[in-house]
Chains A and B, each alone.
Chain A
């Protein structure tokens, strides 16, 4: 009997990697999936913090895809190592803060390393759902060999959906995979993928619009750049990237920023950060919890509280009682007049 070959597939949770796996499963290749968590990934329930999203289906698309395909999925936390990719991408950024080409190289390289570390499982090659021309930055004919070379995967990196447009890789040359049964998809169109999905009976798959992570989102990228500017250094911790997904962000002064919950769900989420961050909340009226990121001088406490009060039920009251809490210190009670709509300046909104 021919030896069974085994591939590890980069699973993003989107349709393309799902199809790539099924194409190889059809050829009798045993596949397991790997998914890298950078901290910026968009999952089905990333927004579930907000009340309005509570009813939306909560699922992690990568896990869902793996279950549909009947494969194991290994999720790897690459948050720390990913920093270098995001902060200093050799090949630059895409339309926003997305360093897609470096990111692809990084992930394929991580898969190579992972395979080395898990050698006893005997993976022979790596597959991705990349399609030439699908993404303006990372998935171009010119960049495909760059990913293969710079990741160290070289000829064991196979892209089943566009393999026929690329030089044959080891799995094809060795006959582990029949190149004739691979595809030649190219371009931004999704029709061939959708037709193949229909053939395999895949419905209900996720189709992220811009890309697989928040870094392709303009608002998110703006907030990230603002964070670096506010701190005077380009760095971030996990809490920072989580908090960029939550609340309304206002920067009334260069040194500090307010993160104001937009509903009870977000207030509850921000509660968990009160031991680390200064916080403001109304006590005489219902209102959102707000965190302060950065340095605020005592003279600015009232001003910050009057901004936060604007977003609570006391917005039209003459006076609102607010608490200003600095972790580890006694709570300060402030009596302030909420700012009017006009006084909350447009340029403060990050």
Chain B
């Protein structure tokens, strides 16, 4: 189990989702991914993507214009 970070700053949706999807492909069940982005659209898109693919968003946080979405890889 390891923790990773993905820089999706300044990308507009769906790019943060695409980057998340591609990154998660290389991770293992139990890994955690922090996606750092600036497009608020990611707040609905990444959780929707996670639900569809059986992963879990365990936390979302916003600070100084940045959004951090934490995804637990489940499948």
Contacts and interface: CB of A to CB of B under 8 A. Distances in A.
Contact of A76 (B18, B40, B48): B18
Nearest to B20: A75
Interface secondary structure of B, over-half rule: helix
Contacts of B44: 45, 58-60
Contacts of A202: none
A48 B52 contact: no
B52 A71 contact: yes
Interface string A31-45: 000010100010111
Contacts of A46: 12
Contacts of A74: 21
Contact of B48 (A35, A48, A67): A67
B41 interface: yes
Contacts of A43: 13-14, 41
Interface in A56-88: 58-60, 62-64, 66-67, 71-77
Given A66-B52, A72-B52, A37 B40 contact: no
A58 B67 CA distance: 15
Contacts of B13: 43, 45, 60
Contacts of A41: 14
Interface string B12-39: 1111011001000000000000000011
A272 interface: yes
Nearest to A66: B52
Given A60-B13, A77-B15, A242-B12, A45 B41 contact: yes
Contact of B41 (A60, A67, A75, A268): A60
Given A71-B52, A242-B12, A60 B18 contact: no
A58 B39 CA distance: 11
Interface size band for B: 20 to 34
A32 to B, nearest CB: 10
B15 A37 contact: yes
B6 interface: no
Interface size band for A: 20 to 34
A43 to B, nearest CB: 6
Contacts of B10: 272
Interface string A13-50: 00000000000000000000001010001011110100
A242 B65 CA distance: 20
B3 interface: no
Contact of B21 (A59, A62, A67, A75): A75
A63 B17 contact: yes
B45 interface: yes
B17 to A, nearest CB: 6
A37 B12 CA distance: 12
A46 B53 CA distance: 23
A67 B48 CA distance: 7
A59 B48 CA distance: 9
B48 A63 contact: yes
22 contacts: A37-B18, A43-B14, A43-B41, A44-B41, A45-B41, A45-B44, A46-B12, A48-B39, A58-B40, A59-B45, A60-B13, A60-B14, A60-B45, A66-B52, A67-B48, A67-B52, A73-B49, A73-B52, A75-B18, A75-B49, A76-B18, A268-B65
A327 B4 CA distance: 32
Interface string B45-62: 100110111000000000
Contacts of A62: 14
Most chain B CB atoms below 10 A, which of A48, A63, A73: A63
